[in-house]
Amino acid sequence: MEHTMKNVSFAALEAQLALWEAPGSPGGQILVRHHGETVYERCAGLACLELSAPIVPETRFNIASNSKQFTVMAILMLMEEGKLRLDDDVRRYLPDLVAFDEPLTLHQCMTNTGGVRDVLELLVMSGRRADDTMTRDDVARMLARQTGLNFAPGSRYLYSNSHFFYLVEIVERVSGMRYPDFARTRIFEPLHMHDTVVQSGYAALIPHRATSYHDDGTRFLNHVFNCGYYGDGNIWSTARDLAAFAAHHEKPFLIRPETAALMQTPPVLTGGGETDYACALRVGSLDGHRYLCHGGADASFRSQFLCFPEDELEVVVLTNTVNLSPDALAEAAARCALGLPDAPQSASLPGDPAFDPADAPGLYVLDTPDGAMTFAASGRGEALSLRDDYGPAPLTPLGGGCFRLGRRPLTLRLGAAPAVWMGGNAVPLTKYAPQPLPERRYARYEGVYESAELGTRYAVVLRGGCALLVR
């Protein structure tokens, strides 16, 4: 679909979309609305590679964690109806799902300050694969076993999908409605979001849906998505529909303006720190323009939601692959619409003159507020690759220890001064290399370890001079 422009140039954004324009490539939707009018709309790439079906405005994408905003909206609507209070303890509503003793409020869940362990991490630690089918019962059983928290509720921020599973369960129990029905009748329909739906189970049919594709830099592969629950994710939508929801943050009518302001206000932490995370919304500033935003990532679906309330500007980016950053695209679109200069950045990732190829293999980690990004490099000399669940992906050497992941604009500097190129800047990485130990040192770790909270056991065994973790 051709884009539309009105009195503004989006050339800086267009220049970044070459990968989506390549034949046989997945892609995405980008939409920009300013003062209630669409000033830019772009659909590029394929929704389904197997059928060569193009992405069109009606193509639905899984918006992943951007679904959390709708869960919060449902809670706020019930609060205004007097059916619950934000300072209520979740144990009042979920006695069967909560085993820890500390009071935990709905508002702490909404702001990710509750300290509840992330259920996706718990399921993976219990032995589940990320692409296994995971149902509401799986999540409920895992959370019901948790007897402790990561920290005292309200003292810190730590992103956790578990908070929003609690919230959506409360919505259903308090309203007496299934959440997919509540969201459809109380939120989607009043906002004319006719292409938006909550997926009720992993086998549910979603008309006009895009397929998720992993891009390792040289090939596309199906990235299976088998999520069978909702609350923290699993809403399918379009850029047009999400832009309508973004506009509601500026001129709310489903909830009162003072309630909308509460949703946009980060909490005060009792531990003395600060957070930019409000109620399923991040709050920030772009060259003096206040914005609300949230991202989403499930399988290879990515979403980014940007709203500038004072400027009446909404930007939505939805993709079905990972080769372009929706965050960078959304910022570029916003800068174009607001007439702001391009973000300052260096021309490329500088090389390390002292790079030693022998130092390149290893595990590299980037810690972020929402979790860690890992890069596992293996090989010899400059014949290196990154390894993930799909196997090795070859790296293209650029010199000075810098490598590019095939066609993707992902550049890493490996070795003693590791970094990743993000947003036009070099972001340092931490390298973890294997530390060989004598077998006698390993021996003390040998044995069986069991966790009642995970519902699983692991064995540490010595084999071939290595200690292996076996489930």
Query: Do residues 165 and 94 touch, judged by C-beta distance below 8 A?
Result: no
Residue 428's pLDDT is 92
Residue 3's pLDDT is 45
End-to-end CA separation in angstroms for the chain: 49
Cα-Cα-Cα-Cα dihedral sign, residues 57, 250, 331, 163: negative
Residue 208's pLDDT is 98
d(CA 256, CA 207): 33
Entry pTM: 0.93
Q: Give residue 372's identity as a one-letter amino acid code.
A: A
Residue 370's pLDDT is 65
Which of the 8 DSSP states describes residue 187? I
d(CA 246, CA 8): 21
3-state secondary structure of 78: helix
**Residue 424 Cα distances to 118, 211, 326, 439, angstroms:** 31, 29, 14, 45
d(CA 263, CA 281): 8
Helix 68-80 vs helix 162-175: angle between axes, to the nearest 10 degrees? 40
Cα-Cα-Cα-Cα dihedral sign, residues 144, 149, 153, 154: negative
In 3D space, the residue among 298, 301, 299, 282 whose CA is nearest the CA of residue 290 turns out to be 282
Residue 22's pLDDT is 94
d(CA 149, CA 90): 14
Helices (H), 81-125: 106-110, 119-125
- Block mean pLDDT (10 aa), the chain, length 471: 61 90 96 97 98 98 98 99 98 97 98 97 91 93 97 97 98 98 98 97 94 94 92 98 97 98 97 93 98 96 97 98 93 95 79 91 85 86 85 91 90 92 84 75 86 93 77 79
Residue 86's pLDDT is 99
Burial class (CB in 10 A: 0-12, 13-18, 19+), 45: buried
